[in-house]
Structure 1
Amino acid sequence: MPTAPPAPVQGATPVTHRALAPDLARGLMLLLIALAHAHMYLGGHPVGFRGYALDGGALDRLVAGIQILLVDGRALPMFAALFGYGLVQLANRQLAAGRTWPQVSKVLRRRSLWLLAFGFCHALLLFFGDILGAYGLVGLIFVGLVQRADRTVLRAAVAGLVAHVAVMAAFGLLTVSGPKGDTPAAMADPIEATVTRLIGWMGMTPTYFAASVVPAFLFGIWAARRRLLEDPVTHRGLLSRVAVVGTGLSIVGGVPLTLIDTQVWAPGDLTAVSAYALHSLTGIAGGLAYAAVVGLVAARARADRPGTVVRALAACGQWSLTCYLLQSVIFVAVFTPYFGGLSTRVGDAAASGIAALTWLATVVLAALLAPGGRRGPAEVLLRRLTYGRR
């Protein structure tokens, strides 16, 4: 069962009462999300397993290599772990407020269902690589594990890892054997792009994205029961081990695909698919390691008087849903042929630069508006749909 928090709170936690580390992790994670997504708006180039151009210049290949090694397949598991962590926090508050588990389960399912709806709208209007739908779907299916024993959760996580490898291997085989076409973001016809986005989202959400989310989501549930990010000082030793081991596994497992997608190494298809699956599997360790690193940073920061940068990043984390959606709005405005038109005019390096600036803009926006307890508009809407008007 989840460990109840010290003070009962019904509904969403007031912004001023939130723990620092989870929000700090979400704020930093959004930079990785932006970097991982921006190049997916480019078109007109042959691409490798992770969607980076194979005919880019030296700087483009360097940026692609760094991101494949350190960002791609690492940001999504980090986000998934934080999602599982947050789901337990939400359940704890409801239980501490006197609700029964069936009542809490209903709230969690309602929130997950609305996340799925958010994901559909996100894909319909903006981005085929939406991940909100996968979180909503996973929350709907696995919400019962929030109150199951640790052993059951960890067994499910191991099963999820096996399924993850199988799904990634299947997608790797499709990559080496299937036709290569432009991403929806690079299509000149907005109607065609919309239809393609929805088809891709409906196909990838219950398969590729769900398989990527489940293992880290379950490990996040396990971590939340121990309050690893809410009390990082007490758990500094465990967080340090996760950070070191997870980062090491992530880098070692990411090297083969990095060499392949930057065209330093050209193995056979079977080896390439194996490298792709290994990259994705070890990326789960990397995502958990990144969350642990942020916990260690939070352990060193003064919770009562964090610095300006820490406060700004935490504010971005408090507005994580709004900032995530804003990234897509800006990318559509900048890259798509029927708006900014940069999708076929810039390379991976420039796209990553735009991604970093976009993330920085959302950090500044959240830092300016979040103080005083103001929530992001997407957070307000999700909260209203989940809890009603109270």
Structure 2
Amino acid sequence: MRTAPPAPVQGATPVTHRALAPDLARGLMLLLIALAHAHMYLGGHPAGFRGYTLDGDALDRLVAGVQILLVDGRALPMFAALFGYGLVQLANRQLATGRSWPQVRKVLRRRSLWLLAFGFCHALLLFFGDILGAYGLIGLVFVGLIRREDRTVLRAAVAGLVAHVVVLAGFGLLTISGPKGDTPAAMGDPMEALMMRLIGWSGMTPTYFAASVVPAFLFGIWAARRRLLEDPLAHRDLLSRIAVLGTAVAIVGGVPLTLIDTQLWTPSDLTAVSAYAVHSLTGIAGGLAYAAIIGLVAARMRPGHPGPIVRALSACGQWSLTCYLLQSVIFVAVFTPYLGGLSTRVGDAAASGIAVLTWLATVVLAALLAPSGRRGPAEVLLRRLTYGRR
């Protein structure tokens, strides 16, 4: 008996049919990512747990304090939750075409494998703190949980939280006892920087970043099953609770490390490492809260009538992979000693100002090109590698 051929692969969702909240969240999230990454290109200064300089002036310390409290360790979980959310959306679109789950799982794993390759290239050429590789690794390992019951997903998330604390405590101990030196982004020799980027990425992807991504990724799967961001109006009460509780937990949990890294408090090493782990753990709640807040904002907008700013931010979200990589291109051009050379000449405040300008430039670029139906070049390449030319 002949088997019917599989249904054709569904193409990318047309821009006009995309849900507003997930794209808006991704667009705003890229601002937090830029702020969290820019100071990591600085060198020549002693740095704290989160990489901010310890010898900056009052403005640098103020900026560092605000970002440690509200940005660092909060942007990555938000990004991870949106990644899990988007993977469920992608699987649902594939299943809706009539494809079987084994076929869909194969597509998702192929996409994750290419994301891992993107991350390798990103680290090789631009930035040791790449997170694409971690997403690809998580997608390869945990894609099966998309079809498992909620209880299993939430249990895995709790186990991920435990692993997260253990890994972060280990990195905190390394920060205190390990050698101090410039980050790969601030090294003057391009080949030495390249080798150090690969070494750092190879170690951080399966440990630090993967442990940081897993819990939020799984919570994103849970949220996508309930369409929390696709239909935020129907889930306004739940999103409100997540927003309020998550923000409160993140702020309370972030205060101790903020005081330590801005040198307003000098506790014992054990207390400092504990504060570092608590900061990162509560940051997961903060990342989920930020996504919920954006969902609530989207729920208040008239359907089909976003303003020009919202349209621009959503366009940036549609181009999130391209804009993320463009940030690294600009930072390398501006900061590295063998190009722009600002890594040793500016402080945290100036680096954050450059981050905001960089993010604005990517928003403008996406806003100009996305409304015509164009996909970001990185998004087009990832789809071509995943699905072929069909």
Q: TM-score, normalised by structure 2?
A: 0.97
Per the TM alignment, residue 98 of structure 1 is displaced from its structure 2 partner at its CA by 0.2
CA contact (8 A) 1:38 1:331 kept: yes
Residue number in structure 1 paired with 2:94: 94
CA contact (8 A) 1:63 1:349 kept: yes
Per-residue Cα deviation, 1:331-352 (whole angstroms, up to 9, x for no partner): 0000000100000000000000
Identity level (%): 88
SS at match of 1:343: helix
Residue number in structure 1 paired with 2:5: none
CA contact (8 A) 1:11 1:94 kept: no
Residue number in structure 2 paired with 1:5: none
Residue number in structure 1 paired with 2:32: 32
Letter aligned with residue 88 of structure 2: V
Q: Is 1:358 paired with 2:349?
A: no
Letter aligned with residue 53 of structure 2: A
CA distance in 1, matches of 2:267, 2:105: 48
Letter aligned with residue 274 of structure 1: S
Q: Is 1:251 paired with 2:267?
A: no
Per the TM alignment, residue 12 of structure 1 is displaced from its structure 2 partner at its CA by 2.2
CA distance in 2, matches of 1:362, 1:224: 27
Give the superposed CA RMSD: 0.8
CA distance in 2, matches of 1:18, 1:373: 12
Letter aligned with residue 133 of structure 1: G
Letter aligned with residue 146 of structure 2: V
Per the TM alignment, residue 91 of structure 1 is displaced from its structure 2 partner at its CA by 0.3
Q: Is 1:296 paired with 2:296?
A: yes
Residue number in structure 2 paired with 1:155: 155
Per-residue Cα deviation, 1:274-307 (whole angstroms, up to 9, x for no partner): 0000000000000000000000011011231100
CA distance in 2, matches of 1:303, 1:123: 40
Structure 1 unaligned spans of 5+: 1-7
Residue number in structure 2 paired with 1:367: 367
CA contact (8 A) 1:36 1:71 kept: yes
Residue number in structure 2 paired with 1:203: 203
Letter aligned with residue 14 of structure 1: P
Letter aligned with residue 127 of structure 1: F
CA distance in 1, matches of 2:157, 2:366: 34
Residue number in structure 1 paired with 2:327: 327
CA distance in 1, matches of 2:16, 2:386: 20
Per the TM alignment, residue 56 of structure 1 is displaced from its structure 2 partner at its CA by 0.3
Per the TM alignment, residue 9 of structure 1 is displaced from its structure 2 partner at its CA by 7.7
Per the TM alignment, residue 372 of structure 1 is displaced from its structure 2 partner at its CA by 2.1
Letter aligned with residue 240 of structure 1: S
CA distance in 2, matches of 1:107, 1:17: 22
After TM superposition, the runs of 4+ consecutive aligned structure 1 residues lying more than 3 A away are: none
Letter aligned with residue 31 of structure 1: L
Residue number in structure 2 paired with 1:49: 49
SS at match of 1:337: coil
Residue number in structure 2 paired with 1:262: 262
Residue number in structure 1 paired with 2:315: 315
CA distance in 1, matches of 2:136, 2:12: 18
Q: Is 1:123 paired with 2:112?
A: no
1:105-144 correspondence runs (5 A): 105-144=105-144
1:179-190 correspondence runs (5 A): 179-190=179-190
CA contact (8 A) 1:78 1:290 kept: yes
Residue number in structure 2 paired with 1:282: 282
Per the TM alignment, residue 229 of structure 1 is displaced from its structure 2 partner at its CA by 0.2
CA distance in 2, matches of 1:9, 1:27: 27
Residue number in structure 2 paired with 1:3: none
SS at match of 2:54: coil
CA distance in 2, matches of 1:121, 1:167: 25
Letter aligned with residue 91 of structure 2: A
CA distance in 1, matches of 2:274, 2:168: 9
Q: TM-score, normalised by structure 1?
A: 0.97
Per the TM alignment, residue 14 of structure 1 is displaced from its structure 2 partner at its CA by 1.8
CA distance in 2, matches of 1:154, 1:13: 29
Residue number in structure 2 paired with 1:271: 271
SS at match of 1:142: helix
CA contact (8 A) 1:20 1:303 kept: no
Q: Is 1:342 paired with 2:345?
A: no
CA distance in 2, matches of 1:382, 1:298: 28
Residue number in structure 1 paired with 2:4: none
Q: Is 1:230 paired with 2:226?
A: no
SS at match of 1:371: helix
Per the TM alignment, residue 224 of structure 1 is displaced from its structure 2 partner at its CA by 0.1
Residue number in structure 1 paired with 2:167: 167
CA distance in 2, matches of 1:67, 1:182: 21
Per the TM alignment, residue 11 of structure 1 is displaced from its structure 2 partner at its CA by 3.1
CA distance in 2, matches of 1:187, 1:161: 34
Per-residue Cα deviation, 1:334-375 (whole angstroms, up to 9, x for no partner): 000010000000000000000000000000000000002110
CA distance in 1, matches of 2:9, 2:253: 42
Structure 2 unaligned spans of 5+: 1-7
Residue number in structure 1 paired with 2:3: none
Per-residue Cα deviation, 1:223-280 (whole angstroms, up to 9, x for no partner): 0000000000000000000000000000000000000000000000000000000000
CA contact (8 A) 1:50 1:261 kept: yes
